[in-house]
Each structure stands twice: as C-alpha cells, then as structure tokens.
Amino acid sequence: MSVTTTTHLNFRGDARAALGFYRSVFGGNVVAAPATAEQNRA
C-alpha cells in the first residue's frame, strides 16, 4: 500500500524564486498553477 501526498503552498511576491529554492533543496517536480487577480479577491 502506498500513500500519495499533495502539498499546497501560497506565496505573496516572488513565488517562482521560492519554489525554485525548495526544488533545489528537496528535489522533485514543481507543478505551479498561478492564481489570477480575480481569484485573489475572494
């Protein structure tokens, strides 16, 4: 039996640089889905 986890992170500002740093430390793949300005108003 295997367990799969999905982590959701929210960043303000320069998220691309932060995700690149986390990838360099932990490895793996980054799958990013940028939020639109409209979604941020909710």
25: three-class secondary structure by DSSP: helix
Residue type, 41: R
**pLDDT tens for the 42 residues of the chain, in order:** 899 887 777 777 778 888 888 889 999 888 877 776 555 555
Q: State the Cα–Cα distance between residues 3 and 17, nearest whole angstrom.
A: 29
CA dihedral 6, 27, 9, 3 (to 10 degrees): 20
Return the number of other C-beta atoms located less than 10 Å from residue 26's C-beta: 7
Model confidence, pTM: 0.47
Q: State the Cα–Cα distance between residues 11 and 18, nearest whole angstrom.
A: 8
